[in-house]
Amino acid sequence: MRVPMIFSSINPYSQKRLKSYRADGQATIERKLKQADRAFADWSALSLRERTDYLRKVGQHLVTNKQQYAELMTTEMGKTLREAVGEVEKCAAACTFYSDHAESFLADQFIRTDAQSSFITYQPLGPVLAIMPWNFPFWQVMRFAIPGLIAGNVGLLKHAPNVIGCALAIEELFLECGLPAGVFQSLLVDVPVVENLLKDKRVKAVTLTGSGRAGSSVAGIAGREIKKSVLELGGSDALIVLADADLDKAAEVAVKSRMQNAGQSCIAAKRFIVEKAVKKQFTERVLHQINQIRQGDPMDDATTMGPMARLDLADAIERQCRTTLAKGAKLLTGSHNSALRRDGCNVQPMLLDKVKPGMAAFDEETFGPMAVLIEAKNEIEAVRLANQSDFGLGSALWTQDLEKADRLARQIQAGSVFINGLMRSDARVPFGGIKNSGFGRELSELGMKEFTNVKTIWVEKP
């Protein structure tokens, strides 16, 4: 298939073309692969302390230039400037976290056996291909790159076509902080090139954050090539509210989770499953919170929700809303409670009631500012409804009975369950899903070790 020659970056709020980028040709791709292969030999030979020193500089550089990077994100994909600044700060904090903990995470692990010495050592694999999405254009990349590079791997980034500016800025960031050329490179390529990259012997592993369809394709190729893969795919995360929950706090956090980044988050709370006894009260509080949202220019500090990133994404969430309404759901927000309001990529926050299994808003991943209310008779039905999904990324559970919370959290089929709090990724704990939400883990010690050779060394007495 012919590779597109041009990628265009378009401001989703104004729909103005920002910049165009020429795709890498075959000669450029080959040059970058060779450079990555050579860079890995030198980079992995550095001491762990030397590599962490480089990444500390990256963290400092992010803090110093956070406004510049935030403005780039906002203009390319539409998130509010406040959200973008927070994203850069989160990347900087991860640099500090891994620099502080890499030595203990990657330390040799000694095992008592009948040998003179036996231990596990963690060694880098080589060039890792990262296929990353547009919704968190810095964080998604950096949460792979920071632990991966410190562990001794080198990175090849295939970023989403609408955030090429961010991809190049991240590459330049590493170079400005002194990392050798080839340790982290952006590949300006489209989907048809990915298979050839995965088949190239110099690429040792792949990590992908994206759709289930993309994950299935990449995992299939990686499997045939016998290469390690980590997949963070979609989610249809449940937020369970039981009758004894703090309804004010639960509603506030639920709306924040669902509507941040214009609803474009894999781990957003998408299905509000509420015990019947408090559903009316919770609904009133959620509507109040949604009515406080101010849409507009994402560069304006007063704006609390920007546009969706692309017109096709706005089309998709509108289609899911309409098909769900056609099956009997009720729209509680919008013009006269019956129609969705939308202006290009600017989509009004939606709250749908009477949503049930079999409706698009229950069964599918909804990637946009749409929350749905689902009634449960009791806690048993609430957990059953939460698990009645092809996805299993993250969930939230609201109750003041912590003993009950512990018991129910263990029954929820998800990679994470947050009790009385906002479901989020955090460098200190593993992140990832089960079922169609993917496999493998990012972040924490486990994430750092995903792209290492877990090598056993056994020493007998001479």
Active site residues: 232, 266
The answer to whether the beta carbons of residues 297 and 303 sit under 8 Å apart is: yes
Give the number of C-alpha atoms closer than 13 A to the C-alpha of residue 21, restricted to the C-beta side: 22
Burial per residue of 333-360, b for 16 or more beta-carbon CB atoms within 10 angstroms, e otherwise: bbeeeeebebeebbbbbbbbebbbeebb
Report angle CA 424, 95, 39 to the nearest 5 degrees: 120
Which segments of 268-354 are extended strands (E)? 269-275, 330-331, 342-343, 346-347, 350-353
* Separation between Cα atoms, residue 304 and residue 200, nearest integer Å: 44
426 exposed, middle or buried (CB, 10 Å; 0-12, 13-18, 19+)?
A: middle
Between CA 194 and CA 24 the distance in angstroms is 13
Closest by CA to 355, choosing from 273, 248, 457, 254, is: 273
Token pair of 8 as six digits? 């265009």
Strand partners, 435: 391
Q: Where on the phi/psi map is residue 340: left (φ > 0), alpha (ψ -120 to 50), or beta?
A: beta
Spatial distance between the Cα atoms of 145 and 159, rounded to a whole number of angstroms:
13
> Could you give the CA distance from residue 117 to residue 38 in angstroms, rounded to a whole number?
33
